[in-house]
Structure 1
């Protein structure tokens, strides 16, 4: 059972990262990805709480994020869900995290063994 959570706007997403003026390009990229991840995870949790299900499709996530009114492109959201945030993404995904798990073609769920944080899987 997914616990309902407060729906957050893009400005309210919990995001605590300090970046010095001398931060490397890699660190700056990591910060941007982390903010996207936090927002996408909040949208997924709200979607699951509302639907009562434990799985979702990338299209549902895109619709939820559009409903919330962000500036993220649909392709960016889909890439994050199907590639970067998915622990069993194809090898061409580059850096992946263990937030989500693909359970069927086009169907995903929050990874029960992961911690939905910034830990790299590979």
Structure 2
């Protein structure tokens, strides 16, 4: 799958579409999800053009990998979910590919919490 430069996250990164920014560094942007699935729902995306985790793990530079990992932890502190900020917990979700439920072809992680989330996967 090739990277689609017209996906919604690419447009947000180019500031063509606004977002409610939570955190930003040289390699990462985090913002509130416009369709939250929990009391707190934040999206964390790399600024680089990576389709999914497979693409990122194979092609990202080490500083991009470190920046994304640190940003994930920092965002949980900022929104009050981390144990460092007296939070009660949270969930990271990274969907990869069609069977994984990925809807936007730009690597992104969901951080959700602020309430009990229940089982990770419900049985069908």
| TM-score in terms of structure 2 length | 0.32
More strand by share: 2
Higher relative contact order by CA 8 Å / sep ≥ 6: 1 or 2?
2
Larger relative helix fraction: 1
